[in-house]
Amino acid sequence: MEQDKLMTLLETAEIISREELLKKLEKSKETGQPLKVKLGLDPSAPDIHLGHTVPLRIMRAFQDLNHEVYLIIGDFTGRIGDPSEKAETRQQLTQEEVLANARTYEEQFSKILNPDKTNLVFNSSWFNEWQTEDFLQLATRYTVARMLERDDFARRYREGRPITILEFFYPLLQGYDSVAIKADIELGGMDQKFNLLVGRQLQREYGQTPQVLIMSPLLEGTDGVQKMSKSLGNYIGINEAPGQIYGKTMSIDDELLVRYFKLTTDFKTRELEKIIKEIEEGKIHPMEAKKLLARHLVAMYHGDEAAQAAEKEFENVFSRGELPSQMPEKIVQAEWLDESGEIDLISLLYKLELVESRSWGRRMLKQGAVYIDGERVKDQDTRICPKPSMIIRVGKRRFARLSVTQ
């Protein structure tokens, strides 16, 4: 049963190699020895989003099959920074920050993994013990030529962009993590392929049986093009408010629907196939399918009730154009007003932080995005007399209910 679920999850993944995986699973069943499954985490970005959940859910499946699961916080490697075109030096996190981030991780992954059966490990716990010679030793295990096989390095080398030698250490250290815990399986995104392969190679060097790699596809973010990532701002975080998760999900491209269903949801295999078929054959309205997806996702991370509520709210606000049931209360300071108790609308929008600058406010006004108590206001010179409970709306998503101080 659980094995089936795992297999379903693995359908979209690239595995190196399937045969080895089956062999390991079989052997584990025979000997009763659980497999060690590793997933590396970046200590600087502790917000888990739907993209992260893809490998995490595979991990959960392994957990349910009673294998041993290791989350490795790369606090030591984090000091180097994963090679990227940005080549920005990553700022070093303090011990406290690392711990705080780890705690956040723990809290978040508990929504997916079984926390009692999850080993959370810091890779500084071994690397901090290392002497200089140990690092040099490690460096003898890999060649520059092989390093340059990495797409990113190869491209940068070809294009004449900088690659520091330090960057070569990143895959080495991350790979060594697998040696340190004697991983049987390592999970990761497709973009981690090179690093994971280094792990395999290093294990061989250190006389271990190389780990099996399970690389999950990268989930496109809400922009539908680039992979979901926090820095691109196209992510749906599992810790976000239900309304946010619901709304952001509704904003993904219809094209992405099937992919999201496959990669992020917990529908049973048969159910999932049915939904996908209906979408592909046009039997279910894309909007309805997306609502189902949105509801399901909210329910996964916030429970059914929140999902119902989020859907209702969404329908009210966006389908029917009604006001949200809850609006942030914004306080109008008495000193903003002139003798007759008025203020020009642009200043008010700015002071209430409904717009980021006065120019922005002017633009919104010009574009007809501003409503006061449901009345569209377009005149830039409008002065208003703020009254308690007055409702100001900017665009589709920004609302404020006013209150006035003395």
Partner RNA sequence: GGAGGGAUGCCCGAGUGGCCAAAGGGAGCAGACUGUAAAUCUGCCGGCGCACGCCUACGAAGGUUCAAAUCCUUCUCCCUCCA
The residues binding RNA (CB under 7 A) are: 157, 160-163, 222-225, 233-234, 243-244, 246-248, 250-254, 285-287, 290, 314, 318-319, 344, 346, 350, 356-360, 362-364, 367-369, 380, 394-398
How far is C-alpha 301 from the chain's CA centre? 13
Please report the DSSP string for 69-101 in residue order.
EEEEE-TTGGGT----TT-PPPPPPPHHHHHHH
Residue with Cβ nearer RNA (13 or 306): 306
The rounded distance, in Å, linking the Cα atoms of 198 and 205 is: 10
Least distance from C-beta 346 to RNA, angstroms? 7
Residue with Cβ nearer RNA (111 or 362): 362
Which contacts of 265-271 are long-range, i.e. CB under 8 A and separated by 24 or more positions?
265/293, 265/296, 265/297, 265/300, 266/57, 266/296, 266/300, 267/296, 269/4, 269/5, 269/8
Residue with Cβ nearer RNA (239 or 244): 244
Q: Is 267 helix (H, G, I), strand (E, B) or coil?
A: coil
Residue with Cβ nearer RNA (127 or 314): 314
Least distance from C-beta 187 to RNA, angstroms? 28
Residue with Cβ nearer RNA (98 or 252): 252
The rounded distance, in Å, linking the Cα atoms of 231 and 209 is: 36
Residue 178 backbone zone (phi > 0: left; psi -120 to 50: alpha; other: beta): alpha
Residue with Cβ nearer RNA (19 or 356): 356
Residue with Cβ nearer RNA (126 or 157): 157
Residue with Cβ nearer RNA (176 or 261): 261
- CA proximity to 218, closest of 241, 203, 206, 234: 234
Residue with Cβ nearer RNA (138 or 365): 365
Q: Is 307 helix (H, G, I), strand (E, B) or coil?
A: helix
71 strand-pairing partners? 39, 120
Least distance from C-beta 305 to RNA, angstroms? 18
Least distance from C-beta 235 to RNA, angstroms? 11
- CA proximity to 247, closest of 311, 309, 306: 311
Least distance from C-beta 273 to RNA, angstroms? 21
Element of type H or E holding 314: helix 304-314
Least distance from C-beta 317 to RNA, angstroms? 7
> In sequence order, what are the residues at sequence separation of 6 or more whose Cβ sits closer than 8 angstroms to the Cβ of residue 68?
34, 35, 36, 37, 117, 119
Which contacts of 24-28 are long-range, i.e. CB under 8 A and separated by 24 or more positions?
24/184, 24/185, 24/212, 28/67
Least distance from C-beta 90 to RNA, angstroms? 16
Least distance from C-beta 121 to RNA, angstroms? 34
Least distance from C-beta 232 to RNA, angstroms? 7
Tokens of 191: 């973009």
Q: Is 402 helix (H, G, I), strand (E, B) or coil?
A: strand
The rounded distance, in Å, linking the Cα atoms of 199 and 213 is: 9
Least distance from C-beta 364 to RNA, angstroms? 6
Residue with Cβ nearer RNA (172 or 369): 369
For tokens 């609308």, name the residue.
Answer: 345
